[in-house]
Amino acid sequence: MDKAASPTDKPIQVRIFPARLLQPATAEKVLNEIDRVEGVIRMLINGKNLPRKVTCGPGTGADVNHPERKVIHVGGCAFELHIIVGEILVEVEDEKALDCVKDACERALPFAFEFKRGHFIKRRPTLTDYGKYGFRSKTDESINLEDERMLGLTDPHAKKDCDICVIGTEQEK
């Protein structure tokens, strides 16, 4: 029986863990395949850091020209990869979108991957979020975010702001 999603239904989160670290071209391909799926709310990529400078040893401060640090294009948005992609976290609206995401991964990844359902991206603001974004007013306890999808996508301990690419939002009129 097919039922329409109600506003009280919680989004479904899935972790896609490839058997290998992804090259920039493969990461771009799989992210674009997932982005084409109807019902994807947000995506987050994790992986090993690609530093810009040598942080310790005799070459401290020297530039690192890593060949995997490339600009990729996902859904019309270009951004530089600061990591070697090791996992992709995706939040979708319903089961139908979940199946489509799995099909997209099967098309784009030429090797095995783990597709695990669970809770990976936070859904409610924490104390750190209140400290970072502040309150709207004394009577309203919601945080001051332009887009609620941003919640949980940044590192509160990062020394500089993270790159976030917002794709497919519509302007309110």
Q: Note the pLDDT tens digit of each residue in 89-111.
A: 999 999 999 999 999 999 999 99
C-alpha span between 26 and 33 (Å, rounded): 11
Give the domain CATH number at 104: 3.30.70
Report the DSSP pairing between strands 12-18 and 83-92. antiparallel
Closest C-alpha among 151, 153, 172 to residue 162:
153
My answer on whether 75 and 148 are in the same domain is no
My answer on whether 25 and 37 are in the same domain is yes
pLDDT band at 33 (very low <50, low <70, confident <90, very high): very high
Range of the domain at 130: 125-155
My answer on whether 27 and 48 are in the same domain is yes
Report the DSSP pairing between strands 113-118 and 12-18. antiparallel
My answer on whether 43 and 114 are in the same domain is yes
Alpha helices in the chain (DSSP H): 24-35, 95-108, 127-133
Residue 75, pLDDT score: 87
Residues 6+ apart with CB under 8 A from 158: none
* Segment 128-140 mean pLDDT: 57
Lowest mean pLDDT among 7-11, 82-86, 102-106, 160-164: 160-164
Place of tokens 């020209």: 65
Determine, yes or no, domain membership for 89.
yes
My answer on whether 16 and 61 are in the same domain is yes
Q: How many domains does the chain have?
A: 2
pTM of the model: 0.74
C-alpha span between 84 and 5 (Å, rounded): 35
My answer on whether 117 and 133 are in the same domain is no
My answer on whether 71 and 129 are in the same domain is no
My answer on whether 107 and 26 are in the same domain is yes
My answer on whether 30 and 97 are in the same domain is yes
My answer on whether 97 and 52 are in the same domain is yes
My answer on whether 95 and 117 are in the same domain is yes
Domain boundary pick from 102, 121, 140: 121
pLDDT band at 124 (very low <50, low <70, confident <90, very high): confident
Task: List, in sequence order, every beta strand (DSSP E) within the chain.
Answer: 12-18, 40-49, 71-74, 77-80, 83-92, 113-118
